[in-house]
Structure 1
Amino acid sequence: MSESENKDLLEALNSVKPVKIGDVVKGEVLALDDSKQVIVGIEGTGVEGVVPARELSIKAEELEEQVKVGDVIDLVVISKIGSDKEGGSFLLSQRRLEARKVWDEIEQKFEAGENITAPVTQVVKGGLVVDAGVRGFIPASMVSDHFVEDLSQFKGQTLELKIVEIEPSENRLILSHKEVAHAEREAKRQEIMSDLAAGDVLEGKVARLTNFGAFVDLGGVDGLVHVSEISYERVGKPSDVLKVGQDVKVKVLSVDPERDRISLSIKQTLPQPWDNINEKVAEGDIVEGTVKRLTSFGAFVEVFPGVEGLVHISQISHKHIATPNEVLTSGESVKAKVLNVDGENHRLALSIKALQEKPAADSKETSHKPSKNTSNDFPDEETGFTLGDIIGQDLKK
């Protein structure tokens, strides 16, 4: 061998790079065998490698369409096959190399404090699995800023996620949507709060119930419907008439951005109890109702939801009584005759004694009495109201 040939051989041998596990190499496709493996020549090494179908980034059935002899692909060395001292063959992977690149990108974002986005692929016990280029996991406690009973609603959604923990060597990527959800909710809350005004009528959904009222979700911010604003009828517990998840129409009573409070009313979106009262009842009708309140001058009886009529003390019984509670109790069901209907002023005069038979002794005594009182201190026999009652009620209003 000439000196020139020897020199060329030495240079060729020196140019051959050793192959190590973990190296990133380029492989020229030499052949595709029947077992769906790709045989490659590792550039600059003089040795061959094998890429199993499972280590490709494409599906096995697409192999022949996507990979051709002569193609050069980037690969990572996984292990050595056999013990050939001349170099032998190596097991290579395209999929793991791409995963390594993804891990590098995620690590860079983690260090920079940046979030990533990924679709939810599975709902598993304890949380959600996402595809971030590599498998990521969101613990159930980190899915939202509030408790979520059914996580299946997130399947298929693409979420913005904070990187909580990353360990590429163990393929561990822990993510959180909680902080992002909280920030989104806060931004939405600020937007809604700035747009709300007293008097607005909105659609909402009952979010939760308490003993004192119902919290209604207005699309990112909750408002309170106090128990007294749920219905014109008396409501003992909000859960008696409302359910979580129920759609409701509400009216905005007040907005307090500083205290982060929104007061709402359901009943004010409903027809007023006194609307068309003259079509519901007329003078002379007999109605049945419930005694709601007892006062020194009479009893208030609810005859329709939110509509109370006054039975003046003089209209309770033919017998003389000092106070209404001598013969009536709160919550008692009674029948009464309608003496007068004043829908404009929300007044309804009732009489219980008009439905009772008048004692014989009283009929003789009362036959000499005038049908109406001339004094303002006594009730009108037809309406059951005195001037003092009317003025007193106006003052209360």
Structure 2
Amino acid sequence: MSEKNESSENTETMADALKSVETVHIGDTVKGEVLAVEDKQLVVGIEGTGVEGVVPLKELSTQPIDDINSVAKVGDKLDLVVISTIGKDKENGQYLLSKRRLEAQKVWKDIQAKADAGETITAPVTSVVKGGLVVNAGVRGFVPASMVSDHFVEDLSQYKGQELEFKIIEIEPSENRLILSHRAIVEAGKAEARKEIFAKIQPGDTVEGKVARLTNFGAFVDLGGVDGLVHVSEISFDHVDKPSDVLKVGQDIKVKVLAVDPDRNRISLSIKATLPQPWDDIEEKAPAGSVLTGTVKRLTSFGAFVEVFPGVEGLVHISQISHEHIATPQDVLSEGQEIQVKVLSVDPDQHRLALSIKALTEAPEGSSDDRPRSNGGNNNRGGNSRGGDRGGRRGGRSEHTQIPAEYQQDDSGFSMGDLLGDALKNLSTPNDEKDDKDNK
């Protein structure tokens, strides 16, 4: 073969070889063989091009990588996408490649398919940022704070690291925007649980629950997907300023169902209704004649209501406050004051407790209580008689001072006779005046 023919064949072979080399463009999907594994990148040869490229560590996977050797080794062949060129010499230059972005393209397609089908996705919360949560769904997803739960959450950090279910709210692959909602999942779950609970729960039932959240006006208790409210007044027989003083979020408690309102999705609960009632065994705890320490809760024109046990109040009538005459209980007592009282009488059925302060002290000389009182030979220490036949008519409710039936008892549980007490002494009738003259 002549040198001319041989040269012609070599030229054709090189031309054919050059024609077989594919041109690499940004955005192309290529296959690369791992030539070297370095600390923070892979060096790969792009098949069919005769050129090399690099895959940075952060472009290897959509998942975090601690050790690059755990995901690739020399000789592996990877599907990659061309991101950009490195350097100006394209013939001998290198290309920046990504495996992560190729995976992300597939993830976007899968998420879009689920969104179209109305399906949900599950993904871990990777970080908490201003305004919401960041999740790793194969691509970056964002959950606005308003879509985290069905109620306001002050501290979102509790969700970091949790794997949650989300509804796809908005998806835009070209802008790498994926908006998710966990609130929609919570609401859907509660709606289903609500149907079941409202179908079986009844007022009077005693159930167990978990304190879900606390407010100034009460505690919301999770009954298994539905929250019921324990108003602050239903937490304890003792006074409670703030629910957080006695309850903690996550605490297991027993509650009694007070009311159920399916139309308004409301369940009213009580903790104190599950506790021993304050008036149980009151005759043993506060027998007549016993001395107790209590707190003045309310002052009225006719006396003072004193709490001697949590939820148990007794009345100290104004006539039983002092041996000396006082115009109003406020003259000598104040709300919140701690005092000692003597039990005069107990009525468990009517929840009445008659108390006295002055019974614990001796009457001063010259006071009205210290003066001897004639009652036809009977000394009435109740202070409602002044002697003879007068005392019988003036003692509490005489035939001349009958109290109408509608005024016989007020809301406090005490009769008008209890509340008026010595005030009835000032009432007089024509017959009383005649008796006065006869006695003289």
TM class by shorter-chain length? 0.7 to 0.9
Aligned-partner SS, 1:279: helix
In 1, Cα distance between the equivalents of 2:66 and 2:259? 63
In 1, Cα distance between the equivalents of 2:244 and 2:69? 64
> Which one of the candidate residues 322, 334, 343 is aligned to 1:338?
343
1:307 corresponding residue in structure 2? 312
2:222 corresponding residue in structure 1? 218
Cα 1:318–1:161 change in 2 (3 A) is closer
2:422 corresponding residue in structure 1? none
Structure 1 segment 90-109 matched on structure 2, within 5 A: 90-109=95-114
- The one-letter code sitting in structure 2 at the alignment partner of 1:183 is A
In 2, Cα distance between the equivalents of 1:258 and 1:152? 35
In 1, Cα distance between the equivalents of 2:330 and 2:86? 104
> Which one of the candidate residues 47, 51, 55 is aligned to 1:48?
51
1:157 corresponding residue in structure 2? 162
Aligned residues with identical type, % of pairs: 49
2:424 corresponding residue in structure 1? none
In 2, Cα distance between the equivalents of 1:240 and 1:10? 84
In 2, Cα distance between the equivalents of 1:140 and 1:291? 45
2:69 corresponding residue in structure 1? 63
1:27 corresponding residue in structure 2? 32
- The one-letter code sitting in structure 2 at the alignment partner of 1:217 is V
Cα 1:335–1:135 change in 2 (3 A) is closer
- The one-letter code sitting in structure 2 at the alignment partner of 1:98 is E
Alignment of 1:363 with 2:367, yes or no, is: no
Cα 1:343–1:122 change in 2 (3 A) is same
1:383 corresponding residue in structure 2? none
Deviation, structure 1 residue 102: 1.8
In 2, Cα distance between the equivalents of 1:303 and 1:228? 18
Any idea what the Cα deviations from partners look like across 1:214-272, whole Å, max 9, x if unmatched? Answer: 1422254332334543433566x556965674845432112121222212122212222
Alignment of 1:266 with 2:271, yes or no, is: yes
Deviation, structure 1 residue 204: 3.7
Alignment of 1:200 with 2:203, yes or no, is: no
Cα 1:172–1:336 change in 2 (3 A) is closer
Deviation, structure 1 residue 130: 1.5
In 1, Cα distance between the equivalents of 2:65 and 2:236? 62
Cα 1:195–1:238 change in 2 (3 A) is farther
Deviation, structure 1 residue 187: 3.3
- The one-letter code sitting in structure 2 at the alignment partner of 1:49 is E
In 1, Cα distance between the equivalents of 2:307 and 2:114? 67
Contact 2:299-2:330 at 8 Å conserved across structures: no
Deviation, structure 1 residue 292: 4.0
In 2, Cα distance between the equivalents of 1:229 and 1:123? 37
In 2, Cα distance between the equivalents of 1:226 and 1:376? 49
Any idea what the Cα deviations from partners look like across 1:342-394, whole Å, max 9, x if unmatched? Answer: 546644344455445274874152472365999899569xxxxx9x99x9589
1:171 corresponding residue in structure 2? 176
Any idea what the Cα deviations from partners look like across 1:93-128, whole Å, max 9, x if unmatched? Answer: 322222222223233334444432211112233322
- The one-letter code sitting in structure 2 at the alignment partner of 1:148 is V
Aligned-partner SS, 2:263: coil
Contact 1:127-1:138 at 8 Å conserved across structures: yes
> Which one of the candidate residues 202, 206, 215 is aligned to 1:209?
215
2:83 corresponding residue in structure 1? 78
Cα 1:233–1:292 change in 2 (3 A) is farther
In 2, Cα distance between the equivalents of 1:83 and 1:280? 96
In 1, Cα distance between the equivalents of 2:101 and 2:250? 49
Contact 2:232-2:243 at 8 Å conserved across structures: no
- The one-letter code sitting in structure 1 at the alignment partner of 2:372 is S
TM-score by length of 1: 0.73
Alignment of 1:184 with 2:189, yes or no, is: yes
Contact 1:253-1:265 at 8 Å conserved across structures: yes
Cα 1:33–1:266 change in 2 (3 A) is closer
- The one-letter code sitting in structure 2 at the alignment partner of 1:139 is P
Any idea what the Cα deviations from partners look like across 1:61-118, whole Å, max 9, x if unmatched? Answer: 443884242x432122233456668787544332222222222323333444443221
Contact 1:77-1:92 at 8 Å conserved across structures: yes
Structure 1: unaligned runs, 5 residues or longer? 381-385
Aligned-partner SS, 1:258: helix
Cα 1:251–1:61 change in 2 (3 A) is closer
RMSD: 4.7
Cα 1:234–1:163 change in 2 (3 A) is closer
Any idea what the Cα deviations from partners look like across 1:166-199, whole Å, max 9, x if unmatched? Answer: 4444434333323233323433444443443323
Structure 2: unaligned runs, 5 residues or longer? 386-390, 398-402, 415-440
Contact 2:221-2:230 at 8 Å conserved across structures: no
Contact 1:47-1:89 at 8 Å conserved across structures: no
> Which one of the candidate residues 280, 285, 293 is aligned to 2:290?
285
Decide which moves more: 72-81 or 249-258. 72-81
Cα 1:364–1:133 change in 2 (3 A) is closer
In 1, Cα distance between the equivalents of 2:244 and 2:32? 72
| Number of residue pairs the alignment of both structures matches | 381
Contact 1:206-1:243 at 8 Å conserved across structures: no
